[in-house]
Structure 1
Amino acid sequence: MDAIPVGEYNARARRRTPLAVTLLPGSRALTAESFALQVSALRLIPESERPDVFLAVAGSVSVDELAKAANLRRTPLLSTESADLGELSDGNLTVHMARGSAMGNLIEASDVVMSQAGTATIQSLGLGRPAITFINPRDRRSRFADEQNLFGEARIVVEPKAEEIATALRRLLTDTVERTRLGQVGQDRIGGPGAMEAILAEIRA
């Protein structure tokens, strides 16, 4: 929580709907496939309930590969903000992209995260945003289980199917009380910033 990246990107200025979701498809193998599945789930959300969508793009990830996997087109128009990577769109669904260095900006402007990432999931939960994830074939099941024991209800695990992801997302989007409750669970489980200062204090003592 002491190292959440914040960059030059005004996510809140791009908000158009009451709620927003940040996509964290990861930075390793299967990133494009995970992103495509997240987008497929979003397409199943009724347009009247669909949130604003943000995407944090890790430095090793190709935007062109993401666009191709999800059948989206990249909008070439960029702002002057250094972390702005433009948009992906199919004419109905729009995904606002920012560099991973501005991930904190996106999460703070969102209400839910859909995450296949590691550290970014922990940071999202610590910021009070419940996460929806699915197990992919390359996940180490023992590690995944250990993480889930820490995260508790704050990280919702579903099958890697667009319908199940969409159902979980829609439930959080339409249930403010539950979304708030799970956000608090995440904050309680992860804790806030201050670890670095505590460690330094012990070293100096």
Structure 2
Amino acid sequence: MRETKREAQSATAPKAKFTDLLKNRNLLLTYLLVFCSLYGFFVMCTWLPVYLEEVRGIARSDTGFVSSLVAWTSIPAALLYGYISDKIGKRRPVVLCLLPLAACSILLMLLTKSHALMITALVCYGFFGKLATDPLTIALVADNTPRNQLSTAFGIFNFVGMSSAIIAPYATGLLRDITGSWNSGFYVAVGLLILGIVAVLCIKEKKQI
């Protein structure tokens, strides 16, 4: 009986169109946010150990551990922010708090001359950056997508994320060759985080029950 009812509902439901997702304003803004957030993360993943060795003079044997601090601190952060977001029933306010702090963390890493402050900045980036905001961006996609198009929406989500994974390492290396400085690539990551903040500000969100 239940199967018959479900079949009847699926038969009367309008067919999902891929183009409907591309017309969804909130989804497009969320995808822009995902690209901007992941860009900085992949810059960190690919070039941070080289930056630490060449610019900061940290021993090669220690660069892996220092770089891993970003991932270590993101684990409790993701759980915390996901809980807070569910508690208040919104994603947007939490993301708007985290993105500026992530951008400031990268700037602190670049501007400080102290190794202790630089490591603190990396820990802060892990606590406020991409890995910590992942549950929120995923929830934003789910909140703004019809149930019959969730797989397609998350497919686009992955496409956008992997696009940044391809572009970020290449662009950062190219900027290093052009400018002679590693900082230029990290500054681009900060600029994209600011663009991500603008995207979040434009998202219209209703409280989730």
Query: What is the TM-score when the length of structure 1 is the normalising length?
Result: 0.30
Hey, which of these two has a bigger chunk of helix by percent?
A: 2
- Higher RCO (CA < 8 A, seq sep 6+): 2
Question: Is the radius of gyration larger for structure 1 or structure 2?
Answer: 2
